[in-house]
Amino acid sequence: MPRPVRPKIAYVSAQLPSYLAAEHRVVERSEQALDRLALALDFERVGEWPCVTSRAGAEVVAREAEELGVDMVLLQCSSFAMGDVVAPFGDGRYRLGLWAIEEPRREGPIALNGFVAMHLHAGVLTSAAAGAPRPYKWFFGLDDHPWLRDRLAVTVAALRGIRALREARIASIGGVAPSFWSLAVDERALRARLGVQIDVHDLGDVIVRARSVAADEVDRVVDDLRRAVRSVGAPDDDMRLGAATYVALREVALEGGYDALAVSDWPLFQETLGIHPGMAFSWLDEHDGIPVASEGDVMGGLSMRFAGALATGPAMLLDMNDVDLAADAIIMWHCGGSPLGFADARGATWDVHSTLGRKQPGAVPRGAVADLRFRHGPVSLLRLRSDGAELFALDAEVVAHPTAGFDGSRGWVSAFRDADGPRSAADVVSTVLSLGVEHHIVLSDGAVAPAAREVAAWLGMRLTPTVPYRDELVASAGGAR
């Protein structure tokens, strides 16, 4: 199973003794606030250091934080602090947060002057003297203030996403599906940029493994599969072949310690086993937490792992299949490899693949794949592009629609939003088609696009720009290719 991602955040207090941080218990109150947030947001507060009052002291703490492998240092100006104390924290591999709290009173002699110090530190980090600028994020207040509580919630999710990318191991099984050239990836460029490791496997090995799975193990898996759904419409033989394929893929995933798989689901599966492996994909994600990207889409698999870390839940790889302008909605669909947890109150079924062998004379409908409608609510649409150099990210909602959508895993999506505000379905279509955004888009639970965009800011990725719909030809606005 993918490794759990729980960020480590170090709190460091910087101050001058001539101010009143001690009298107002700034450090104690701040540590208590962070501990409450650590429980609520699921991060670990690590490290205990004396208050930093000089550059020499800052250098010691910065080095020790690096050795602890923290994901972020929150450098708090507990009172005013000199500009040189921030400099050593600008060189670490961790992310840097600048923090100040509100003044205990807003008249008379100033007690803390921490906001001014944070402002000074921001200027130091962006000055020519600091060398190449590096990103940082500011925070303000204690855990009852939105500028700490809400901003840190986005950052903790982003730190999970960064860790998931840095540690990701992806299995490419069978390569990219025939003619799906836009899904190709430069493995060396991706590893250099994000640290992602990709291992290549022969799909024939999976077929051999599937044919070798013991009958009693297939029986156990089929029983689990039947209990997980409302009904089963797929033939027994297909259920057994799908279960054996699940076991084979799971073996590969566990043996390699993979966080996601990218599998070419056609044509070899059909030529050898006569099935589509959608049920196996669905169950590997639902039961084991290992996302599987169809058609050998490595960046799709990585995007699923990334989105899952942001949302702390599963994600789906989908196509955009149709547009209803009157409803300002787009149907997101795939043939049936989605995790069952996305199903609405109707639940899911295992059924035959809706197009496999459909026009072949004498062909019998084969499966098995998941058939479900997505539950309504907030979601995000994400895609890592250009070997990790670019990010497509939108928030949206799964909404009600008069039609049920196409057989398979599906839902109508609307209420699109990017960093600048609401966008129409026409704007989304214009963007993906004008810029050639790869046709697999990840849909994840919850509004995690802000956290995804923060990851892009930390790692220097560009954002795929929205191309507003117009009737005339829109020149390429600088997409991934």
Provide the CATH number for the domain around residue 138: 3.40.50.10940
Residue 212 included in any domain = yes
Residue 471 included in any domain = no
Minimum mean pLDDT range among 4-8, 9-13, 476-480:
476-480
If you average pLDDT over residues 440-455, what whole number do you get?
97
- Give me the pLDDT at residue 292, please: 97
Residue 480 included in any domain = no
**pLDDT over 50 at 480, yes or no:** no
Give which of 260, 279, 259, 280 is closest to 206, Cα–Cα: 280
Residues 173 and 160 in one domain: no
Residue 368 included in any domain = yes
Residues 174 and 158 in one domain: no
**pLDDT over 50 at 479, yes or no:** no
Name the token pair of 103: 């003044």
Residues 112 and 249 in one domain: no
| Domain span holding position 258 | 168-463
If you average pLDDT over residues 455-481, what whole number do you get?
85
Neighbouring residues of 159: CB distance < 8 A, sequence distance ≥ 6:
7, 9, 43, 71, 72, 95
Euclidean distance between CA atoms 447 and 319, whole angstroms: 19
Residue 476 included in any domain = no
If you average pLDDT over residues 417-439, what whole number do you get?
97
CA 389-445-262 angle, to 5 degrees, is: 50
- 123-149: per-residue pLDDT in tens? 999 986 667 778 999 999 999 999 999
- 334-382: per-residue pLDDT in tens? 988 999 999 999 999 999 988 877 777 777 767 799 999 999 999 999 9
Residues 365 and 263 in one domain: yes
Residues 237 and 317 in one domain: yes
Overall number of domains in the chain = 2
Mean pLDDT of the chain: 94
Residues 326 and 388 in one domain: yes
Name the token pair of 359: 């026009």
pTM for the whole thing? 0.95
406 DSSP β-pair partners: none
Residue 479 included in any domain = no
**pLDDT over 90 at 5, yes or no:** no
